[in-house]
């Protein structure tokens, strides 16, 4: 039978891996579980990884070839099979069943499916369940929602009162991705020194959510990369009026510019986007940004961001906020790069 999330965590903590895994269900939870499995595989010596994208035109003989292939470094291997729609079709079901019938030594097959229901199951999933591990990740039910949020907060070193969790749950309205992003923002907004004290109460939660929603540094970067220069400058002005520190804002902007350059320098954009765990919307955001300007432009933007950081820290002269405005304009509208 498929494991539940709690059983999955216990199974993953062991010192051996099963020959095959199927992680299916809610996209956020599946991607996080897959990341955890990949990390455990690396710790156990699975040094090689091959990604197989099982899209509509995928050649399922490729799975057999990958399984039969020899390791380049005589090490353990992880075959990372992406099955977005959750339906392998007749050929795919046969290929997966054949793998399960005779799994090669020192090889683990990880299958991820981010669309799933009982209708996806069949003979191939039953065979997989006999040979390996199948886990279905469902969204928390309404009565489980606050506990799930509490676990996410704890993972970031944060705690909250019951009233604060209820408030957060009400605002997130069952949206897992929005909740995960909001908690990541809370981890930025709550100083490390404050995390060992009293839990976040309802009033603090209200203020933190309001602050992050009013003028958001995450939205600032996204607006700039989307080419929305006026909106990015408006958000920057709002952040300045709210008394935000420019150093913290630049930290996130530098992070995103470095990410953009990794994508620009990758041989396979889609593969790098997956490695960076980009959601489709953000992948498209960066694709469009890279179409607007060559890699050299983004390198110049990163250099300018480093210069602004120095000005903000008092290590160079200039108006850091004015330079930040120029940088955002250049990110949004590359022809404005002359301002740099």
| DSSP for 45-103, written as a single string | T--EEEEEE--TT--THHHHHHHHSPPTTSS-EEEEEE-TTS--HHHHHHHHHHHHHSP
- Level-2 CATH architecture, domain 217-270+279-339: Up-down Bundle (1.20)
Tens of pLDDT, residue by residue, the chain (340 residues): 788 877 888 888 888 999 999 999 988 899 999 999 999 999 999 988 999 998 888 899 989 888 887 655 557 899 999 998 888 999 999 999 999 999 998 899 999 998 888 888 889 999 999 999 999 998 888 888 999 999 999 988 899 999 999 888 887 767 788 788 888 888 888 876 566 678 998 988 888 876 555 557 788 888 899 999 998 998 899 888 878 889 888 888 999 999 999 999 998 998 898 888 777 777 888 999 999 999 999 999 999 999 998 999 889 899 999 999 999 999 999 886 655 5
Query: Do residues 105 and 68 make contact, with C-beta atoms less than 8 angstroms apart?
Result: no
Q: What pLDDT sits at residue 294? A: 92
Q: Which residues pair with 51 in a beta bridge?
A: 80
Q: What pLDDT sits at residue 129? A: 92
Q: Which two tokens stand for residue 138?
A: 């469902």
Q: What pLDDT sits at residue 71? A: 57
Q: How far apart are CA 91 and CA 324, in angstroms?
A: 54
Q: How far apart are CA 252 and CA 60, in angstroms?
A: 41
- Level-2 CATH architecture, domain 142-214: Orthogonal Bundle (1.10)
Superfamily of domain 5-137: P-loop containing nucleotide triphosphate hydrolases (3.40.50.300)
- The full length of the chain comes to 340
Q: Where are the domains of the chain?
A: 5-137, 142-214, 217-270+279-339
Pick left, alpha or beta for residue 239 (phi over 0 → left; psi -120 to 50 → alpha; otherwise beta).
alpha
Q: What pTM does this model have?
A: 0.61
Domains 5-137 and 217-270+279-339 share a fold: no
């Amino acid at each position: 039978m498929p494991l539940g999330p709690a059983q999955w965590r216990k199974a993953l903590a062991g010192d051996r891996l099963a020959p095959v895994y199927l992680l299916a269900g809610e996209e956020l939870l599946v991607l996080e579980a897959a990341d955890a499995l990949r990390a455990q595989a690396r710790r156990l010596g699975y040094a090689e990884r091959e990604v197989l994208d099982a899209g509509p035109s995928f050649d399922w003989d490729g799975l057999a070839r990958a399984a039969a292939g020899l390791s380049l470094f005589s090490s353990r291997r992880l075959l990372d099979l992406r099955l977005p729609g959750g339906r392998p079709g007749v050929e795919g079901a046969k290929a997966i069943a054949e793998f399960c019938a005779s799994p090669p030594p020192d090889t683990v097959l990880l299958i991820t499916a981010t669309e799933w229901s009982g209708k996806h199951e069949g003979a191939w999933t039953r065979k997989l369940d006999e040979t390996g591990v199948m886990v279905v990740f469902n969204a928390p039910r309404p009565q489980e929602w606050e506990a799930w949020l509490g676990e996410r907060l704890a993972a970031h070193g944060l705690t909250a009162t019951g009233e604060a969790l209820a408030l957060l749950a009400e605002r997130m309205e069952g949206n897992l991705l929005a909740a995960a992003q909001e908690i990541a923002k809370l981890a930025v907004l709550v100083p490390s020194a404050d995390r060992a004290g009293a839990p976040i109460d309802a009033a603090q939660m209200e203020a933190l959510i309001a602050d992050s929603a009013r003028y958001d540094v995450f939205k600032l970067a996204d607006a700039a990369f989307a080419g929305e220069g006026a909106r990015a400058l408006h958000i920057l002005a709002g952040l300045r009026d709210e008394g935000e520190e420019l150093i913290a804002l630049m930290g996130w902007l530098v992070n995103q510019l470095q990410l953009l350059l990794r994508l620009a320098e990758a041989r396979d954009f889609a593969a790098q986007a997956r490695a960076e765990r980009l959601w489709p919307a953000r992948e498209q955001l960066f694709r469009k940004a890279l179409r607007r300007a060559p890699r050299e432009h983004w390198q110049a933007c990163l250099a300018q961001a480093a210069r602004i950081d120095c000005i903000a820290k008092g290590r160079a002269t200039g108006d850091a906020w004015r330079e930040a405005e120029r940088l955002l304009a250049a990110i949004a509208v590359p022809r404005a790069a002359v301002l740099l």
